Amino acid sequence: LFRTEVGTEYFIAVQGNNIPSIGDFELKISTVELPPNDECSGALDTIPGSAPIFGSTSFATYSGTNSSCSGSDTSPDLWYRVEGTGALLTASTCGGRTNFDTQISIYEGIGEVCDGTCIATNDDSCGSGSEVQWIADQGVMYYIRVHGYSTGSGSFVLRVT
């Protein structure tokens, strides 16, 4: 899965597992509708204590984010945002509906830059699920990036409390 640009020519190499490999192959190319929150600028609003959010990074792309929060991962990601309440907030992918090794990264929004200062990040707080807590200043917008370890992707449940 990769994002394409209109007017750009792409070349696709096909190679077998054992060299030399000779034989027939089938190449299937299709378009996929990206989730609306595939990029930080399209982050979906969430309210602390609201219903869990069920999502999947399987048809998302890597945003090329500020790596200060999560190291060198290149996994597909989805974005959410929450306004600070002046209290402790928690974002969690812990639970039975999460089926891959998730990471959560929290960024403080600065103007139009939604992946600015890294506030918190976590990998494997609860098995392969993740959970972060941070003091969320009243009125400040925080961006929650749900992504996988390394290049991992899959389905998750996100709870913000």
Q: With CA atoms as reference, report the closest residue to 63 among 52, 77, 49.
A: 77
Sheet holding 87-92, edge to edge: 53-56, 155-160, 87-92, 131-136
In terms of pLDDT, which residue wins out, 156 or 14?
Answer: 156
63-92 residue pLDDT tens: 877 667 766 678 999 999 999 999 999 999
99 backbone φψ class: left, alpha, beta (φ>0; ψ -120 to 50): alpha
pTM: 0.84
| Run of H or E residues at 71 | none
85-113 residue pLDDT tens: 999 999 999 987 999 999 999 999 887 77
